[in-house]
Amino acid sequence: MLLVLVLLSVFLYNIGKGYTLLLDNKDIELPGGTAKALAMVEVQVDNEEPIELYPRDRDMVLVNGKSHTISITAYNKSFAEIGSYKIRFKLREKSDMFLLSMPALAAEAEDWISPFSPQR
């Protein structure tokens, strides 16, 4: 009985743990050069409401659990679609907050997601 409760607690902790995802559309330095902010990008995390980001915008979504899906559709200055990406990802690092860089994601860079800790 006790073991069942402990296992259930661990399960509830994992599926209920909340994370803050910061969706960032700013220029970012990558190993291959600078990825420029996208003229306009529509971001959807899991089944949340889609969010529109313009250059230098940052927004946030709150999610439960470690596994998520992000879909982004990038547009140019005349609002013509230039590409769309859909990625399933896991929050592996020990942090409550993560920064998701949209330009890095569009550039298919590896470090498009990184743990984030606010300055105190």
Q: By CB under 8 A, name the binding residues for other proteins.
A: 5, 8-9, 12-13, 15-19, 62, 64, 96
b (16+ CB within 10 A) / e for 22-37: bbbbbebeeeeeebeb
Residue among 13 and 79 whose Cβ is closer to other proteins: 13
Residue among 17 and 36 whose Cβ is closer to other proteins: 17
d(CA 31, CA 54): 24
d(CA 46, CA 55): 23
* Nearest distance from C-beta of residue 116 to other proteins, angstroms: 14
* Nearest distance from C-beta of residue 5 to other proteins, angstroms: 6
